């Protein structure tokens, strides 16, 4: 089986035109993924040099494709972080149908990206209790298992769950730079509104107070450094489409959103509202996930307890990607309650594979 060392050594034979060093030594090989399905990395270069590196991208892809045992090679050319503030991404061409006008990303919104974070995604749901936090965490772990550095911000003021799901009891400490240092759990950098306040108090926060606390968690946490920026920050939003979600999505430069729903019509109509909210704030919806799609019974049959397929149909109707379904799995519930996330503990298990596939789709949407 091919390993990362071999790939890095091979890539070092390609010379970076700027530094004269091999690509690996020059630090240009980022987010390297070596899996049985594919080998790939992000070639991260200064913004004004992107065109110059086109041939290097092609040469790297060709080299990877020629390595023994590689089925698919993919090199994504990306510009280094620009200073804040940056304009929000332009509207997506995919949401063009008149019928889904409301869910289209509108005019670009200026927002601030947290320092040293390359991409920010939000995970939302219209309705509470659909498993948004469970799915957000699964996606964050999936992205990390694909080789990225990942942060997880639990912004759910109505029910912060990261401290319990990940077993973190101590709030973050402050560094010399007066920034919060997010504690690490299962390879993720984690911060949560639950570390700042008693959850019972958070429930009764008025909109502006809650928004301010969330902005603080976002911008005053040391997610990454200039030398080691964070690849992706996953934000678990509070359920619904109220002021808090609106303010957060307007003030922050967000690269994409994922919407979680269960199959029932009630949950779906709320999920549609969440898609609309993202559209209004100029955020591209990277996809929809159907949680609790079915229950796999011990005899192997798939029981569709809440119905199945509604989220996929909704995604098709709104012309947004469907990322996949997550079955009801008691081991998943138990893992969350006991701070033993199933997909982190069983990285080769069926549930982890499912989340890796969805994380890959998110990744493809973020770095297209």
Ligand X SMILES: Nc1ncnc2c1ncn2[C@@H]1O[C@H](COP(=O)(O)OP(=O)(O)OP(=O)(O)O)[C@@H](O)[C@H]1O
Nearer to ligand X, 336 or 366 (CB): 336
User: Residue 221: which of 311, 153, 286 has the closest Cα?
Assistant: 153
Exposed/middle/buried for residue 29 (C-beta within 10 Å: 0-12, 13-18, 19+): buried
Among 117, 130, 146, 274, binds ligand X (CB under 6 A): 130
Nearer to ligand X, 113 or 132 (CB): 132
Q: How far is the CB of 160 from ligand X (least distance, A)?
A: 8
CA distance 97 to 37: 34
Q: Is 124 in the site for ligand X (CB under 6 A)?
A: no
Looking at 69-77, 123-131, 202-210, 299-307, which segment touches ligand X (CB under 6 A)?
123-131
| 130 marked ligand binding residue | yes
Among 103, 291, 343, 360, binds ligand X (CB under 6 A): 291
Nearer to ligand X, 70 or 289 (CB): 289
Ramachandran class of 61: left when φ > 0, alpha when ψ lies in -120 to 50, beta otherwise:
alpha
Q: Is 326 in the site for ligand X (CB under 6 A)?
A: yes
Q: Is 153 in the site for ligand X (CB under 6 A)?
A: no
Q: Is 339 in the site for ligand X (CB under 6 A)?
A: no
Among 24, 103, 133, 245, binds ligand X (CB under 6 A): 133
Q: Is 171 in the site for ligand X (CB under 6 A)?
A: no
Q: Is 329 in the site for ligand X (CB under 6 A)?
A: yes
Looking at 17-25, 29-37, 90-98, 326-334, which segment touches ligand X (CB under 6 A)?
326-334
User: Residue 241: which of 156, 129, 125, 154 has the closest Cα?
Assistant: 125
Calculate the alpha carbon distances from 353 to 21, 205, 366 in Å. 36, 38, 20
Q: How far is the CB of 350 from ligand X (least distance, A)?
A: 12
Among 212, 333, 338, 364, binds ligand X (CB under 6 A): 333
Q: Is 313 in the site for ligand X (CB under 6 A)?
A: no
Q: How far is the CB of 331 from ligand X (least distance, A)?
A: 8
Nearer to ligand X, 316 or 338 (CB): 338
- Residues of each annotated binding site for ATP: 126-133
Q: Which residues are near ligand X by CB under 6 A?
A: 125, 128-134, 156, 159, 161, 239, 291-292, 326, 328-329, 332-333, 336
């Amino acid at each position: 089986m091919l390993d990362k060392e071999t790939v890095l050594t091979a890539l070092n034979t390609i010379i970076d035109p700027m530094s004269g060093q091999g690509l690996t030594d020059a630090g240009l090989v980022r987010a390297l993924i070596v899996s049985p399905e594919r080998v790939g990395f992000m070639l991260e270069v200064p913004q004004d040099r992107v065109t110059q590196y086109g041939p290097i991208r092609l040469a790297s892809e060709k080299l990877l494709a020629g390595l023994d045992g590689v089925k698919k090679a993919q090199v994504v050319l990306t510009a280094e972080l620009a200073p804040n503030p940056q304009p929000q991404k332009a509207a997506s061409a995919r949401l063009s149908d008149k019928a889904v006008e409301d869910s289209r990303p509108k005019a670009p919104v200026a927002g601030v990206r947290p320092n040293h974070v390359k991409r920010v995604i939000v995970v939302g749901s219209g309705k509470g209790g659909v498993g948004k936090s469970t799915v957000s965490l699964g996606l964050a772990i999936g992205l990390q298992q694909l080789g990225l550095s990942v942060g997880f911000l639990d912004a759910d003021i109505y029910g912060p769950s990261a401290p319990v799901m990940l077993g973190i009891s101590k709030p973050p400490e402050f560094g010399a730079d007066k920034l919060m240092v997010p504690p690490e759990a299962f390879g993720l950098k984690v911060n949560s509104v639950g570390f700042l306040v008693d959850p019972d108090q958070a429930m009764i926060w008025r909109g502006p107070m809650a928004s301010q606390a969330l902005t603080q968690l976002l911008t005053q946490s040391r997610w990454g450094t200039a030398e080691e920026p964070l690849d992706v920050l996953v934000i678990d939003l509070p359920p619904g489409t109220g002021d808090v979600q609106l303010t957060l999505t307007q003030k922050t430069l967000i690269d994409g959103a994922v919407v979680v729903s269960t199959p029932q019509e009630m949950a779906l109509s709320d999920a549609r509202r969440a898609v609309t909210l993202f559209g209004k704030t100029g955020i591209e919806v990277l996809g929809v996930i159907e949680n609790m799609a079915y229950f796999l019974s011990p005899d192997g049959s798939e029981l569709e307890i809440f119905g199945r397929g509604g989220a996929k149909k909704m995604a098709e109707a709104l012309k947004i990607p469907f990322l996949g379904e997550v079955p009801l799995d008691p081991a998943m519930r138990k893992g969350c309650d006991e701070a033993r996330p199933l997909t982190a503990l069983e990285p080769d298990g069926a549930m982890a594979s499912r989340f890796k596939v969805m994380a890959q789709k998110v990744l493809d949407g973020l770095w297209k």
